[in-house]
Amino acid sequence: MGEVYYITTSGTLRRDENTILFENQDIKKKIPIENVSELFIVTEVSTNTKFFSLLSEYDIVAHFFNYYGYYIGSFYPRESKLSGHLIIKQVEHYLDKEQKLYLAKSFVIGSIINSEGIYKIDTKEHLEALKQASNTQEIMQVEGNFKKLCYKALEELTGWDFEARTKRPPQNPLNALISFGNSLVYAKVLGEIYHTPLNSTVSYLHEPSEKRHSLSLDMAEVFKPILSEGLIIELLKSKAITEKDFLEEAEYCYLNAEGRKKFLRAFDDLLKSTVYHPKLKRNVSLKTLIRLELYKLVKHLTGEEYYLPVNYHSLKR
State yes or no: residue 291 binds other proteins (CB under 8 A). yes
Judged by beta carbon, residue 83 or residue 99, the one nearer other proteins is: 83
d(CA 230, CA 154): 9
Judged by beta carbon, residue 193 or residue 235, the one nearer other proteins is: 193
Judged by beta carbon, residue 50 or residue 299, the one nearer other proteins is: 299
Judged by beta carbon, residue 86 or residue 139, the one nearer other proteins is: 86
State yes or no: residue 93 binds other proteins (CB under 8 A). no
| Given 31, 41, 42, 86, the residue binding other proteins (CB under 8 A) | 86
d(CA 9, CA 78): 28
* Count of residues that interact with other proteins, criterion CB under 8 A: 22
**Beta bridge mates, 277:** 282
Q: Could you tell me the sign of the dihedral formed by the alpha carbons of 285, 287, 288, 290, in that order?
A: positive
Closest CA to 40 of 217, 240, 230, 186: 186
Judged by beta carbon, residue 72 or residue 88, the one nearer other proteins is: 88
State yes or no: residue 83 binds other proteins (CB under 8 A). yes
What Å distances lie between residue 65 and 6, 72, 135, 138, 231, CA to CA? 11, 5, 34, 32, 19
Number of Cβ within 10 Å of residue 163's Cβ equals 11
Q: How far is the CB of 291 from other proteins (least distance, A)?
A: 7
Judged by beta carbon, residue 85 or residue 272, the one nearer other proteins is: 85
Site string for other proteins, 292-311 (x = CB under 8 A): x--xx-xx--xxx-------
Cis peptide before 169 (omega within 30 of 0): yes
| Given 82, 91, 129, 240, the residue binding other proteins (CB under 8 A) | 82
Q: Could you give the maximum distance between any two Cα atoms of the chain, in Å?
A: 59
Closest CA to 203 of 139, 155, 150: 139
**Which residues ranging from 190 to 219 are in contact with other proteins (CB under 8 A)?**
195-197
State yes or no: residue 279 binds other proteins (CB under 8 A). yes
Residues at the interface with other proteins (CB under 8 A): 81-86, 195-197, 277, 279-280, 288, 291-292, 295-296, 298-299, 302-304
